[in-house]
Structure 1
Amino acid sequence: MSRTGIILALIVCGILPPAHAAEDEDYARSRRRLIEANLPLTPEEAARFWPIYDQYWKELSALTARREAYYVELGNNFDSMTDEHAKRIVLEHISLEEERYRLLRTFFPKFATAILAKKAARYYQIEAKIQAAVNAEIAERIPLIK
């Protein structure tokens, strides 16, 4: 994925904030177009898939907002990090990742029913690639704790 693609993934995943609400909608549409381009669906499958995706995206966005708060807290305390604070931040991050995986686990049967398991697996591969790009960009931008 290109650097532009990574930045777009960061924006649509809520890690980098867009300039304003209209742009936020543009980025959500761009993410949707990325999925549409890589997940061929019949019109009937699309009619079943996209409402489930919209609910998934709503729930994922709530987790993403909490994840963003984690990075803000990490940044605000980077130079004065104590062992106790580091422990709390890491455990919160692990908790968020567990919640994200629970969300994936909860939604997979819904997607698999809507578009069959093979296509749902393909969609999860697309989501994994987006998440990997986001994580790689975050890892590149955040220095190690001293």
Structure 2
Amino acid sequence: MKFLQNSTINKMMRKTFIFLVLSIFTASVFGQPPQNDKHEDFEIYKAKRVSYMTEKLQLTPDEAQKFWPLYNEFDKKRADCHWTRKRMEDEIRQQYDQLTEKDFKKMNSEIVQLYIQEANLLKEYNDKFLTVLPARKVILVGPTENEFRFQMIREYRQKRRDENKQ
């Protein structure tokens, strides 16, 4: 079985699959009418994330087909929690001097509940990921997300430095 994992055919299939996934995402981005740059940038970011994580997690085409719909569902719910919490934190900053102790306690409780909700999502989707991927790959999902995010930050900063040189 190890022979099949390391075979040239398997590597070619994985690269072909990654290329196809990236092509589909890219085609969907460029096939739509122009929208704001942030939306397009985010679509490109998501396509790069799919490619990066698929490669780093060494997902087979079958695993990827089952994993990505679950991951996208998880990511959307997690982002909803994050942005709700961020809006609340922004509201606190803007109205800080007008809020009462009662307001602070209520908002604090709501923020903590959002963190708990996010943790529950992580547990729920970790269990779902384990139904479609081996544990050795599931355990790498979080660290791989972080690696990708840091790589994107480095690329963004480098791009900004290059733009400032001109």
- TM bracket (short chain): 0.5 to 0.7
Pair 20,125 (structure 1): closer, same or farther in 2 beyond 3 Å: closer
* Correspondence for 2:87: 69
Query: Which protein, 1 or 2, shows the higher relative CO under an 8 Å CA cutoff with sep ≥ 6?
Result: 1
Match of 2:39 among 21, 27, 52: 21
Pair 83,33 (structure 1): closer, same or farther in 2 beyond 3 Å: farther
Structure 2 counterparts to residues 58-137 of structure 1, below 5 A = 58-127=76-145
> Over aligned residues, Cα RMSD in angstroms?
2.6
* Correspondence for 1:48: 66
- 1:41 is paired with a residue of what secondary structure? coil
- 2:59 is paired with a residue of what secondary structure? coil
How far off is 1:19 after superposition?
A: 5.4
How far off is 1:125 after superposition?
A: 3.5
Task: Judge conservation of contact 1:112–1:118 (CA < 8 Å) in 2.
Answer: no
Work out which of the two has the higher radius of gyration on C-alpha atoms and give 1 or 2. 2
Pair 130,27 (structure 1): closer, same or farther in 2 beyond 3 Å: closer
* Correspondence for 1:143: none
Q: Which runs of no fewer than 5 residues in structure 1 stay unpaired?
A: 1-17, 132-146
TM-score, normalised with respect to structure 2: 0.57
Q: Which runs of no fewer than 5 residues in structure 2 stay unpaired?
A: 1-35, 150-166
How far off is 1:34 after superposition?
A: 4.2
TM-score, normalised with respect to structure 1: 0.64
How far off is 1:128 after superposition?
A: 6.6
